Amino acid sequence: MKVLITGGVGFLGLHLAHYYNKQNHQVSLLDIADFNPKEFEDVFSFHQTDVRDKEGLDQVIKGQDLVIHAAAALPLWTKRDILTTNIDGTRNVLSSSLKHNVQRVIFISSTAVYGVPEKHPIDENDPLIGVGPYGESKIEAEKICQDHIHKGINITIIRPKTFIGTRRLGVFEILFDWIKDGKKIPVIGNGKNRYQLLDVDDLVEAIYLFGKKNHKKYNDTFNIGAKEFATVKQDLHKLCEHAGSGASVLATPAGPVKAALALFDYLGISPLYKWVYDTADKDSFVSTEKIEKTLNWSPKYSNQAALIKAYSWYLDNYESVKATNSGVTHTTGWKQGILKLVKKVL
């Protein structure tokens, strides 16, 4: 099978590429980012193309059997880039896939489409109230998916929780750095809220199962997250305990901390954006009943197991991680800004 992964050089994209390659599929990657094929044994076809480039995209999609649309502009990007990439880019991918008779498209959406609901667990029929350009753009992209399903193309929409694993950096690199150095790890609020994560290996396996067969029942929307998770405080305590560095969890007053982080965000001196600090003290977990029943499958990794696995990779690759230039993606470290000063105090 010929498989195209948009956003193929990203965190999820590379995990997907390796998984499909091991299953002996012909894998093509499409991304605007640079790609070093030598690092990955030169087994993938790479196309440095923007999903907003209709003609370039059309040439790459022609002849593909399965398209996994994982390309997305992240919340740290400009509003214009978020909207054009996530909305226009998705429309381009689906239009070209329909034109070239792609067997199935799997669209990677986000649980950000739900906003900050009071009801938990969240199920797929709950209201969509996206917060900010990113959440709003994912809602619009899902509407485009539904329109194209009616036009006759097979599309699966997946809404994953925050997923972590090997090579995942971004905000988690900051967390792992503090834990490694034995610092107090501040949580917003008392840490008694439940925040569900997802191991990238579970996400990849679910995507693979959806792509194997063209069942009409797969033309639907599915939440996915860890099946086992505790409170934020309990999950982080377990990670600190595993690290054995002396790091510990520190509860903080939510109101003043959020106000301070909002100011730092406004001044451009903190890597934490509004969605992160506004939801950090809230419950956030989805029902996985629908995806488990449809695929006859269940996520393997708990929050704690996923965190420990990702942290262990970070330690094993510490030198190369620190040698990597900082950026605004999930596969680069983020500049800590004012948090570097906070770290010295704790």
Q: Tens-digit pLDDT profile for the chain (346 aa)?
A: 999 999 999 999 999 999 999 999 999 999 998 877 566 656 788 999 999 999 999 999 999 999 999 999 988 788 999 999 999 999 999 999 999 999 999 999 999 999 989 899 999 999 999 878 999 999 999 999 999 999 999 999 999 999 999 988 888 999 999 999 999 999 999 999 999 999 999 999 999 999 998 888 999 999 999 999 999 999 999 999 999 999 999 999 999 999 999 999 889 898 888 888 888 999 999 999 999 999 999 999 999 999 999 999 999 998 887 777 555 555 655 678 888 888 888 8
The architecture that CATH gives domain 168-195+227-284+304-345 is Alpha-Beta Complex (3.90)
Asked if 154 contacts 215 with a C-beta cutoff of 8 angstroms, the reply is no
CATH of the structural domain 2-160, one choice from 3.40.50.720, 3.40.470.10, 3.40.50.2300, 3.30.160.110:
3.40.50.720
**278-281: long-range contacts, CB 8 A cutoff, minimum separation 24:** 278/116, 278/131, 279/116, 280/187, 280/188, 280/189, 280/195, 280/232, 281/187, 281/188, 281/189, 281/190, 281/193, 281/254
Please provide residue 194's backbone torsions phi and psi, each rounded to the nearest 5 degrees: -105, 120
Asked if 296 contacts 210 with a C-beta cutoff of 8 angstroms, the reply is no
130, two tokens: 């996206």
Work out whether strand 104-108 and strand 155-160 pair parallel, antiparallel, or are unpaired. parallel
The DSSP call for residue 114 is G
Among the listed residues 200, 204, 195, 203, the one whose alpha carbon sits nearest the alpha carbon of residue 223: 203
**CA geometry: angle 193, 198, 202, nearest 5 deg:** 155
16, two tokens: 């997907």
| Domain boundaries, given as residue ranges, for the chain | 2-160, 168-195+227-284+304-345
User: 56 by DSSP, 3-state: which?
Assistant: helix
Q: Which residues pair with 186 in a beta bridge?
A: 250
Please provide residue 42's backbone torsions phi and psi, each rounded to the nearest 5 degrees: 55, 40
Per-residue pLDDT at 131: 79
Asked if 203 contacts 161 with a C-beta cutoff of 8 angstroms, the reply is no
- Give the per-residue SS3 of 220-285: CEEEECCCCCCEHHHHHHHHHHHHCCCCEEEEECHHHHHHHHHHHHHHCCCCCCHHHHHHCCCCEC
Q: CA-to-CA distance for 85 and 88, rounded, in angstroms?
A: 6
Asked if 50 contacts 33 with a C-beta cutoff of 8 angstroms, the reply is no
Question: Is the model's pTM score more than 0.85?
Answer: yes
In sequence order, the 6+-apart residues with CB closer than 8 A to the CB of 36 are none
